[in-house]
Chains A and B, each alone.
Chain A
Amino acid sequence: MTEPIDLSGWVCPAPLRDYSAIVLGHGAGGKLSAELIKHLFVPAFGGPHGPLTDAALLDVGGTRLAISTDSFVVRPLFFPGGNIGELAVNGTLNDIAMMGAQPLALTASFILEEGMPLDQLGLIAESMGRAAQQAGVTLIAGDTKVVDRGHGDGVYITTTGFGLIPAGITIGPDQARQGDAIILSGPIGLHGVAILSVREGIEFGAPVVSDTAALHGLVSAMLASGARIHTLRDPTRGGVAAALNEIAADAGIGIEIVERAIPVPPAVQAACELLGMDPLHIANEGKLIAFVEQADADRLLAAMHAHPLGREATIIGYATADHPGVVVARTAIGGMRVVDTLIGEQLPRIC
């Protein structure tokens, strides 16, 4: 549903210089976010084995438990195609699924702003319940706190998910190998453009709704195909560009993609052209990227095409031994360019 949205600011990209305080760019999922974790949190939490990602594997007497936690602070709370509630459920379920795990349960904690209308909160909660039910997952515990009016943006939601990784599955960003086929499950940019279309200062009428969806059913079908999947990643904040760059860095491989092979819906393309943005940096909430042994690519594609969330799955490129850590794209006219992560969030431009 779309509410009359009252926004009072723009979610920012990165600042230029080193700051002594948090700036909004630290939350954008780009380089600043990574630096904050690496240089402030990891050393405090006990060194290089500290958390670097939002999901982790816990070995409990031979059973491997996947755990993921994520906070959701999206503005506006309601956007075409969904609301913060669905994002909070699906987002964490997807983090679990990207480890190859089947989700079991979720917890949810809420920071509520004094004055947040209860009917809006009710809608959000119902959406969460529905999303969890559709995913076959239970919301088992939760917490609520209230903060003063003026803090909290209505509501912030943190969800933590738990799942089981089946035996024999080793999926992770560092598992990608040179020669792997890189498969994208469907068209990109829908969530980000849906949000942009209701942002103050740049609203436009758009037939674009968020693609928020729980992907573990698709992942299950993919695993059942027997294809040797090395890495799974959902390209959320920072888009496909951020996801590919992280994997390239973690696995020490290079990546080459073909721009023309990347499915972009016409309305997303148009919105990006209008605002001078690149679809590769735009957030998705119901898509995944898979790195698969090249020989198994066709088998995996067939399995994905048979699932509702993978109908438009396609190969967008390959992992390579060349230029490790760097993602390169063949451009529309046959040139080559590097696809880098942005520092913070993408801003519309006029030039």
Chain B
Amino acid sequence: MCLGIPGRVIEIYDNGLTRMGKVDFNGIVKEVCLAYLPDLQVGDYTIVHVGFAITRLDEESARETLALFQSLGVLEEELNPDDSPRTT
């Protein structure tokens, strides 16, 4: 239900009504409302849904998650180089 895409904040300003920003998605720049993330800084990544930043993307957490995926199966591979499935 919720198409939310990560982008990088490149500019923050107030448009008279609320806190707005410019967010860069791989070269595509869109004006985004930042009202709901008052602590968001230029350089941060955020998830944008219908023109609103709804959450800060925690880059450290993203790296950790990917590292977890990388590590999956590594132990089994080391223990079972012949790749037979095990019911651990």
Q: Does A71 contact B (CB under 8 A)?
A: no
Chain A min CB distance to B3 (Å): 5
Q: Does A142 contact B (CB under 8 A)?
A: no
Chain B min CB distance to A89 (Å): 29
Say which one of B22-30, B66-74, B78-86 lies at the interface with A. Answer: B22-30
Determine which of A204, A269, A351 lies in contact with B30 in the assembled complex, contact meaning CB atoms within 8 Å.
A204
Q: Does B49 contact A (CB under 8 A)?
A: yes
Chain A min CB distance to B21 (Å): 13
Determine which of B26, B30, B50 lies in contact with A350 in the assembled complex, contact meaning CB atoms within 8 Å.
B50
Binary per-residue interface labels of chain A (264-280) against chain B in the complex, 1 for a CB within 8 Å, 0 otherwise:
00110111011010000
- In the bound complex, what is the Cα–Cα distance between A140 and B87 (angstroms)? 76
A206 and B3 form a contact (CB under 8 A): no
Determine which of B2, B5, B22, B27 lies in contact with A206 in the assembled complex, contact meaning CB atoms within 8 Å.
B27
Q: Scan residues 30-57 of chain B and give those whose CB is less than 8 A from a CB of chain A.
A: 30, 48-50
Interchain Cβ contacts within 8 Å, total number: 43
Q: Scan residues 175-218 of chain A and give those whose CB is less than 8 A from a CB of chain B.
A: 197, 204-208
Q: Does B1 contact A (CB under 8 A)?
A: yes
Q: Does A17 contact B (CB under 8 A)?
A: no
Say whether, besides A350-B49, A350-B50, A204 and B5 are in contact (CB < 8 Å): no
Contacts of B5 in A (CB 8 A): 270, 273-274
Determine which of A205, A270, A276, A351 lies in contact with B26 in the assembled complex, contact meaning CB atoms within 8 Å.
A270
Size category of the binding interface on chain B = 10 to 19
A271 and B2 form a contact (CB under 8 A): no
A270 and B3 form a contact (CB under 8 A): no
Contacts of A204 in B (CB 8 A): 28-30
Q: Does A349 contact B (CB under 8 A)?
A: yes
A270 and B27 form a contact (CB under 8 A): yes
- In the bound complex, what is the Cα–Cα distance between A270 and B23 (angstroms)? 12
- In the bound complex, what is the Cα–Cα distance between A269 and B28 (angstroms)? 9
Say whether, besides A350-B49, A350-B50, A205 and B3 are in contact (CB < 8 Å): no
Q: Scan residues 18-57 of chain A and give those whose CB is less than 8 A from a CB of chain B.
A: none
B26 and A267 form a contact (CB under 8 A): yes
B1 and A351 form a contact (CB under 8 A): yes
Chain A min CB distance to B54 (Å): 12
Closest to B31 in A: A204
A269 and B26 form a contact (CB under 8 A): yes
Contacts of B49 in A (CB 8 A): 350
Given contacts A206-B27, A274-B30, 16 further A-B contacts (CB under 8 A): A204-B28, A204-B30, A205-B22, A205-B30, A207-B27, A267-B26, A267-B27, A270-B25, A270-B26, A270-B27, A273-B25, A274-B48, A349-B3, A350-B3, A350-B49, A351-B1
> Would you give 15 A-B contacts (Cβ < 8 Å), ordered by A?
A197-B28, A206-B27, A207-B27, A266-B26, A266-B27, A269-B26, A270-B25, A270-B26, A270-B28, A271-B28, A273-B5, A274-B5, A349-B3, A350-B2, A351-B1
Which B residues have a C-beta under 8 Å from some C-beta of A? 1-3, 5, 22, 25-30, 48-50
Which A residues have a C-beta under 8 Å from some C-beta of B? 197, 204-208, 266-267, 269-271, 273-274, 276, 349-351
Q: Which 10 A-B pairs have the closest CB atoms?
A: A205-B29, A270-B26, A267-B27, A270-B25, A270-B28, A266-B26, A204-B30, A351-B1, A276-B3, A273-B5
